[in-house]
Structure 1
Amino acid sequence: MARRALALAMTGAALVAACSLEPPYERPALELPQAWKETAPAYATDGRWWKIYGDAALDQLVDEALANNADLAIATARVDQARGFAAEIESGYFPSVTASGSAARQQVSTKTATFPPGNVIPSRFNDYRAALNVSYEIDFFGRIRSSVRAARA
């Protein structure tokens, strides 16, 4: 009887695990043109479009801005941020373990009323507590798997 119940439970778990409420993530296809529709003006071909104004002060300001440009640092930081986000999402595959502890020393006044009357309460006492929690989410319906795919996309 116990084997039958175990087999039934395992079959039920396998059937539930096969049920995914979310369709598989598919990266959208982008239609990109093979070439530009229009040709760029001559002053824009080298990327220095501000030269058309012929202003030396503007040229100096733009050159200084380009020299101190933080685009590469920003792009690197964004890539690191995306990798960190993906790693955070992937952590859902693993168990979560938390531990906590506390210690307290209390002193009660000897003038405190007790219930029942005459009950003796120690005037000083220590309170020590420790807790260890372990949790794990079984990805029956593919929520974690879909989140990881979306984070990597």
Structure 2
Amino acid sequence: MTEELKAKVLLVDDEVDFLETLAERLEARGLKVSTATSGEEAVAAADKEGYDLIVLDLSMPGIDGLETLKRIKTRQPEAEIIILTGQGSIRTGIEAMKLGAEDFLQKPVNISELLEKISEAKDKRMLVLESKSVKEIEKILHTKGW
């Protein structure tokens, strides 16, 4: 597997043990994983780096998952985000999807389900970026008058 094919994932959770375990399990499957333990840290990381997917815990101290989701989506509307919810709060998960999350998963996370979501998000992101590139190329061609 070449470097380009590896999905870049940002895991965001204030439970450090959970975060480290999940990061190790994803890295063992060939993913490039970064971690953040707070919403503020996640927003800063997302500003610096383009991720194929951000996996975001809903309940965190400071700015919670919904607020973090809003802030990242404001800056990067094409960001692919999956929400993790521990409380089994379906209503909050639905609210997160209305705010632009791709999906939500309940903890404890089923690793194969998460890997499937990561793969779908990476494919979708590639399509979005390709379509953006095509539009930019068309715009250049029109302005050059070729």
Structure with bigger gyration radius: 1
Q: TM-score, normalised by structure 1?
A: 0.24
Question: TM (normalized to structure 2)?
Answer: 0.25
